[in-house]
Amino acid sequence: MPDTPEKREPKGYAGPKNPPKKPRSKASPARLAALDVVRAVRERDAFAQDVIGTRIDRSDLSSEDRAFATKLALGVVSASGTLDEVIDRALNAPDDVKPDVRDALRVSTYEIIFLGKTPHAAVDQGVELVRSFAVSASGLANAVLRKIVALRAAFPFGDPMRDPEALARLHAFPLWLTRRLIADLGPQAALDFMRASNEQAPLFIAVNAAKTTDEALVAAFEKLDEGLDPVAVDNVRVPGCYRVLDTRALLLPEVKRLFGQGKILVSDAASQLVAASVLPERKPGSLLEVGAGRATKTILLQSDAERAYGSQLELTTLDNHDFKTRLLKERADRYNAQVAEALTGDALELDAVVGERLFDEIFIDAPCSGLGTLRRHPEIRWRIRPADIAEFARVQLGMLQSAAPHVAVGGTLAYATCTVTREENNGVVKAFLESAAGAGFELAPINGRSCVATRLYPGSSDAHFAVRFLRTA
Ligand SMILES: C[S@@+](CC[C@H](N)C(=O)[O-])C[C@H]1O[C@@H](n2cnc3c(N)ncnc32)[C@H](O)[C@@H]1O
């Protein structure tokens, strides 16, 4: 999903316009923190992870409370549409419930329906949560939550094996998206995808070869007695990628120092796989990275270049947001990733940005629906609309067509997304190859296959997609 500055928590942001009054209730601190996040995500159209970063990670909650608050907040945002449907079934006049009361009901309904919380505790805590900011609504909360406890046995209100609506409810997905996933991935992979989207994402780090070595990093973690597993995705070892077995390791001062020194960064394993896989066997003379954002792939590409070729690439980056280009420069600097030129401009009008320049490789990290990252971006699930997917596909195809004339003959054009819809992946590839701009390009193998297409299943990396086209004429 494209992100914009106004969706993020501004620096020094002190909280919502109408922060919940100091609790006069017995709601637990973790639930109050989760409610705070859920409310901010709704009111500010914010990203849950960003709000969790400011409101939970930096709070003085105990580590257990932080973990529970995070799980609750991510779960409630992920399931919000389904929670609303359940809440509405228990209300006589759904439209009369104020949004902040509904937020609190969502938290408790999530506990009742999806976490199997004991009825008494869930109702009690839900009422206390509402009482913490709206004493007058605590009676309503009590009545609604009791009805929801009674509804729990019938959830998902149908047979998920036969009824897509029940299947969608069971995994807290919009019905249209459930149908689309089944059509695009097949029933079993769609089911795996939906299940995995509701689980916590594993934590992967990348070793920045521009600053350190795998050996040094592994030794540093061993010294701290923290487990690291080397990662393979689809049987391909991802260079420099490790899974951190205990996420609390990130709180250790020694590990924080490694991040501060730019020796490691957090990045999903599939994202690391894509960066490593789009580099050709022989070092290209120049590479243009389109959709460079805040430099994560820029850093990975240069780190992989150090590994593969022993030196960094002549790398130009492009993004259409100036604030991202500024962030990219700062971040690339910290990670010692060399950027020859960081451009801001529209990749749909590449001629206007780079004139007649040719590159040995152009890599498009395309804006997309982001469905492969639902565990980390739970708000996408209920914000995305079918029309958005068609619009992403239009922009993606436009980016490829605009980039094609700027690839030198014999060079490569790589295209990546972090989504699973056929329309944005194979659909765009096909449309490009069939278009006039795609004449002279053919699909080139990537890791010995026709594409990278990582799947989402419990414990997996995110779902990413990548292809490489070779310019032959
Ligand atoms: C998938 S994100 C890139 C993530 C980034 N490469 C990273 O690793 O962090 C896609 C990026 O494309 C950028 N973008 C969207 N439309 C664009 C356009 N027309 N021209 C240039 N960049 C665009 C967005 O601002 C966003 O940063």
Q: In sequence order, what are the beta bridge partners of 453? A: 465
Q: Which residues are annotated as a binding site?
A: 319, 346, 365
| Helix (H/G/I), strand (E/B), else coil: 359 | strand
Per-residue model confidence as pLDDT tens digits over 220-266:
999 999 989 999 999 999 999 999 999 889 989 999 999 999 999 99
pLDDT at 256: 96
C-alpha to C-alpha distance for 180 and 421, rounded to whole angstroms: 8
* 360 ligand 1 Cβ < 6 A: no
Do 106 and 76 contact (CB within 8 A), yes or no? Answer: yes
CB within 8 A of 201, min separation 6: which ones? 268, 375, 376, 462
pLDDT in tens, 439-459: 999 999 999 999 999 999 888
Compute the average pLDDT of residues 374-378: 95
Q: Do the beta carbons of residue 289 and residue 263 sit within 8 Å?
A: no
Q: Which residues are catalytic?
A: 418
Q: How confident is the model at residue 11 (pLDDT cuts 50, 70, 90)?
A: very low
CB of 293 within 6 A of ligand 1: the answer is yes
For residue 367, report the distance from its CA to the centre of ligand 1, in Å: 5
Average confidence (pLDDT) over 9-37: 68
Give the span between the Cα atoms of 296 and 85, in whole angstroms.
Answer: 38
Amino acid at site 181: L
Q: What is the pLDDT of residues 159-205, one digit of tens each?
A: 999 999 999 999 999 999 999 999 999 999 999 999 999 999 999 99
Q: Indicate if the pLDDT at residue 437 is higher than 50.
A: yes
pTM of the predicted model, to two decimals? 0.92
User: Does residue 329 register a pLDDT over 70?
Assistant: yes
320 lines ligand 1 (CB under 6 A): yes
Name the residue with tokens 């996420």: 247
Ligand 1 centre from 111 Cα, in Å? 36
Q: What would the two tokens of residue 231 be?
A: 């990662």
| pLDDT over 60 (residue 23) | no
Nearest atom, ligand 1, residue 348 CA: 19
Asked whether the beta carbons of 404 and 437 are under 8 A apart, the reply is yes
Structure-model confidence comparison of residues 7 and 344, the more confident one: 344
**What percentage of the chain exceeds 70 in pLDDT?**
95
- Token digits of residue 240: 């420099």
Q: What is the pLDDT of residue 1?
A: 45
Among protein residues, the one with the nearest Cα to ligand 1's atom 7 is 296
| Phi, psi (deg, nearest 5) at residue 244 | -90, 120
Any atom of ligand 1 within 6 Å of the Cβ of 367: yes
Least confident of 53-67, 261-275, 285-299: 53-67
Mean pLDDT estimate for the chain: 94
Ligand 1, residue 418: give the atom nearest the CA: 1
Residue closest via CA to ligand 1's atom 13 equals: 291
pLDDT for the residue 367 = 98
Question: DSSP letters of 184-239?
Answer: HH-HHHHHHHHHHHTSPPPPEEEE-TTT--HHHHHHHHHHTT--EEEEEETTEEEE
Whether residue 12 is predicted with pLDDT greater than 70 in this model: the reply is no
Confidence of residue 5 (pLDDT cuts 50, 70, 90): very low
pLDDT for res 18: 54
The DSSP letter of residue 56 is T
* Euclidean distance between CA atoms 297 and 289, whole angstroms: 9
Which atom of ligand 1 is nearest the CA belonging to 298? 8
- 247 C-alpha to ligand 1 centroid (Å): 28
Residue 282 CB-density burial (10 A; 0-12 exposed, 13-18 middle, 19+ buried) = exposed
Of residues 119 and 269, more confidence is placed in 269
Instruction: Name the binding residues for S-adenosyl-L-methionine.
Output: 319, 346, 365
- CA 138-139-145 angle, to 5 degrees, is 85
**Is the Cβ atom of 365 under 6 angstroms away from ligand 1?**
yes
pLDDT value at 25 more than 80 = no
Q: What is the pLDDT of residues 278-305, one digit of tens each?
A: 999 999 999 999 999 999 999 999 999 9
Report whether residue 373 contacts ligand 1, using a CB cutoff of 6 Å: no
Amino acid in position 211:
K
Ligand 1 centre distance from Cα of residue 6 (Å): 16
pLDDT in tens, 238-248: 999 999 999 88
Q: What is the pLDDT of residue 299?
A: 98
> Ligand 1 centre from 287 Cα, in Å?
16
Q: Is the CB of 40 under 6 A from ligand 1?
A: no
pLDDT at 22: 52
Interval 136-159 mean pLDDT: 96
Tell me what ipTM this predicted complex has. Answer: 0.99
